[in-house]
Amino acid sequence: MTDTLERYSSVLFDFDGTLADSYAAIAASVNHVRAFHGLPALPLDEVKRNVGRGAEYLLTHTVPGGKLKDDLALYRMHHPSVLATLTHLLPGTAELIPALHRAGKKIALCSNKPRHFSVAILEHFKLASCFSAILGPEDVPLPKPAPDMVRIAIEKLDVECERAIYVGDMTVDIETARAAGVRVWAVPTGSDDWQTLKNAKPDRLLKDLTELVAEVRGM
């Protein structure tokens, strides 16, 4: 294996499906908005497949017939009540992030999740201090799969593209990294399955983040 953590000075992560499973929290807030419109609750898997492309995309595809601006407000008002209690870290996250930080790697978050939600969850799990930059869609002209978020993160970290790696769980993340000119690893722990990710040809396809824990400890 030639593509390992040792060759990179910075690691950029997606959030939902990569570092944490927050799908139950997202589904709860989506269904809160649906209930306001008198619509029945959607099952988790139906919500999950619309996660990762931003809140506007999520609500447009899960709450038909509503006014997007009002639905976004309802969603964002409800979400703080569930984001911590219905979110759990994915395997490897709790060990990997502090280990990367101790190893001197610069860490950033590039997620289509609103930044204040990401910060709240990372603070809840006592990981926020490990991150040198936390970016959301409000911080860039265009959300993923546009390259803006990754490019701005690299600027903030003051690293070269060749020394940065982006880790995500969706083909959207692979497209984002390619457009930004950085290498990309994928984990099948979120919205896209192993075969879908393999077909998108990331530079490395992991089982989950636990693969990287031993790697960073061995550096």
Same domain, residue pair 98 and 200? yes
Average pLDDT, integer, range 8-18:
96
pLDDT for the residue numbered 210 = 95
Where is the domain boundary, 57, 81, 105? Answer: 81
Phi, psi of 107 (to 5 degrees): -120, 135
- CA pair distance 2, 5, nearest whole angstrom: 10
> Residue holding tokens 């601006």?
69
pLDDT for the residue numbered 218 = 72
Same domain, residue pair 73 and 114? no
State both tokens at 47.
């919500």
Phi, psi of 191 (to 5 degrees): -80, -30
State both tokens at 87.
């979110």
pLDDT for the residue numbered 90 = 97
- Nearest residue to 34 via CA among 6, 60, 14, 8: 60
Same domain, residue pair 13 and 108? yes
pLDDT for the residue numbered 2 = 67
Same domain, residue pair 103 and 179? yes
* Number of domains the chain is built from: 2
The CA R_g of the chain, rounded to the nearest whole Å, is 17
In the chain, at which residue ranges do the beta strands (DSSP E only) sit?
Answer: 10-13, 20-21, 88-89, 106-110, 133-135, 164-168, 183-186, 204-205
Where is the domain boundary, 31, 66, 81? Answer: 81
Q: pLDDT-based confidence at 3, cuts 50/70/90?
A: confident
Q: Does the pLDDT of residue 54 top 90, yes or no?
A: no
Same domain, residue pair 99 and 62? no
Q: Does the pLDDT of residue 204 top 80, yes or no?
A: yes
Same domain, residue pair 121 and 196? yes
Residues spanned by the domain of 124: 5-21+88-217
Same domain, residue pair 131 and 193? yes
Same domain, residue pair 175 and 74? no
Q: Does the pLDDT of residue 214 top 60, yes or no?
A: yes
> Residue holding tokens 């709790």?
94
State both tokens at 149.
């978020």
Q: Is 164 helix (H, G, I), strand (E, B) or coil?
A: strand
Q: Does the pLDDT of residue 28 top 70, yes or no?
A: yes
Where is the domain boundary, 52, 81, 110? Answer: 81
Contact between residue 84 and residue 28 where contact means Cβ atoms under 8 Å apart: no
Average pLDDT, integer, range 189-200:
95
Average pLDDT, integer, range 202-216:
94
Q: Does the pLDDT of residue 1 top 60, yes or no?
A: no
Q: What is the pLDDT of residues 59-113, one digit of tens each?
A: 999 999 889 999 999 999 999 999 999 999 999 999 999 999 999 999 999 999 9
Q: What is the pLDDT of residues 119-178, one digit of tens each?
A: 999 999 999 999 999 999 999 999 999 999 999 999 999 999 999 999 999 999 999 999
Region of poorest pLDDT, from 1-10, 39-48, 139-148, 183-192: 1-10
Same domain, residue pair 158 and 146? yes
Same domain, residue pair 64 and 136? no
